[in-house]
Amino acid sequence: MNYFSSNFKLGILGGGQLGKMLLYNTRKFDVYTCVLEASNDAPCKIACDKFHLGNLMDYDEVYNFGKQVDVLTIEIENVNIDALEALEKEGIKVYPGSKTLRSIQNKAKQKLFYVDHNLPTAPFSRFAYTSEIEDALNHGGLNMPFVWKAAQFGYDGQGVKIVKSTEDLKGLPNVECIAENLVPFKNELAVIVARNASGEIATYPVVEMEFHPEANQVEYVICPARISNEVAKKAQDIALKTSEAFNHVGLLAVEMFQTQEDEILINEVAPRPHNSGHQTIEASYTSQFEQHLRAILDLPLGRTDNKVGGVMVNLVGAEGYTGNVVYKNIESIMKMDGVTPHIYGKKQTRPFRKMGHVTIVNKDLNEARRVAEQVKKSIKVISE
């Protein structure tokens, strides 16, 4: 099929920053794009060919949007899967497929999938409602500490809480959830696997993620991870095995824990471009966004190795500021070597909202990490 400068239409469900960065590449290849998103202020709006306003969880809106395109992809998992299934039956190509998304969208189902496919993950208990947890604690079926995770609609640190006492259960929404054993890990790692419809597979180097202690959000992504070759090989093998089990098309980001004993446990996956791959735009031969496009259009996959060491810093709204966004000291970070800011185009900031990221590239990874710290201290995302 001719995708370039043709009548071919690519549909994207979701209009956030991941979609916007995907659109850099559809622009590069001159692929016609349509985006469906519920917010008129979405970052994608300025970069797609046709913007549709609509609710991603609404069957009719997703179905009717999908009927207008040739291939449909996502930049967020919270979409109406029944509509995707109906579209697939009518011959629309949907990547990742509805079956993959059904297993991933619900965290309880996702965890059961790992157990069924013999993939290593932390032990967990599943609850229909958060209110059932107290019973399980009282009757010895569950011990603290554990990680509470809402089964659906959690993102960016929302819908996740470490529970060390019954006090921590207060104020949690009474929803379907899992209680997962707290893993005393050394590192949080991630591997992005790309797979096209013909079955060609490529993996990116293992990255290491450093988290913000309060916000439960990634602060730094370091690529390649500072781990032994043996651990890196183990992480990549498990990511490949996970990708094979899901049989997905597109990208699959596999987030993992490296335990004190150097075992690898899967934390969770995302079937789309991911925060742990942003540094690929500057540091890799093929960015994760171009790779996602190559995969869903069944084109040959690009090289995944690094040209240079990369560290990514998330730019999130500073605490105490809500309103029209101002990026303070952005000029000072642009003076630094190898520093590239990416601003997502969200006009309103609020505490811990993802507003952009900055990539730092350097042949010396330790130097890149040092500059990243400087960037983090210098730039502030505040409001007018």
User: What percent of the chain is predicted at pLDDT more than 70?
Assistant: 99
Q: Is 85 annotated as a binding residue?
A: no
pLDDT at 156: 62
d(CA 160, CA 155): 8
CB atoms within 10 A of CB 138: 10
Averaged pLDDT for residues 107-133: 96
Q: Is 268 annotated as a binding residue?
A: yes
CB atoms within 10 A of CB 94: 26
Q: Is 45 annotated as a binding residue?
A: no
CB atoms within 10 A of CB 97: 19
* Average per-residue pLDDT for the chain: 95
Q: Is 180 annotated as a binding residue?
A: yes
Cα-trace Rg, the chain: 21
d(CA 159, CA 140): 24
Q: Is 2 annotated as a binding residue?
A: no
- Helix axis angle for 107-116 and 98-105, nearest 10°, is 110
Q: Is 182 annotated as a binding residue?
A: yes
- Convert the pLDDT of each residue in 273-286 to its tens digit: 999 999 999 999 99
d(CA 193, CA 178): 26
pLDDT at 139: 87
Averaged pLDDT for residues 237-249: 97
The token duo for 4 is 């370039």
Report residue 54's pLDDT band, with 50, 70 and 90 as the boundaries. Answer: very high
- Convert the pLDDT of each residue in 343-359 to its tens digit: 999 999 999 999 999 99
Averaged pLDDT for residues 124-152: 92
Domains annotated on the chain, with CATH: 9-94 (3.40.50.20), 123-181 (3.30.1490.20), 185-383 (3.30.470.20)
Q: Is 233 annotated as a binding residue?
A: no
d(CA 4, CA 342): 26
d(CA 178, CA 146): 10
pLDDT at 262: 96
pLDDT at 157: 65
- Convert the pLDDT of each residue in 226-235 to its tens digit: 999 999 999 9
Report residue 154's pLDDT band, with 50, 70 and 90 as the boundaries. Answer: confident
Q: Does the structure show a pLDDT above 90 at 150? A: yes
Q: Does the structure show a pLDDT above 70 at 155? A: no
Averaged pLDDT for residues 152-178: 87
Averaged pLDDT for residues 151-174: 85
Q: Does the structure show a pLDDT above 70 at 198? A: yes
Report residue 318's pLDDT band, with 50, 70 and 90 as the boundaries. Answer: very high
- Convert the pLDDT of each residue in 37-49 to its tens digit: 999 999 999 999 9
Q: Is 183 annotated as a binding residue?
A: yes
Distance (Å) of CA 252 to CA 204, 271, 277: 11, 4, 11
63 or 212: which leads in pLDDT: 63
The token duo for 79 is 């979409």
Q: Is 107 annotated as a binding residue?
A: yes
d(CA 372, CA 219): 10
The token duo for 32 is 């016609």
Say which DSSP state 44 is in. G
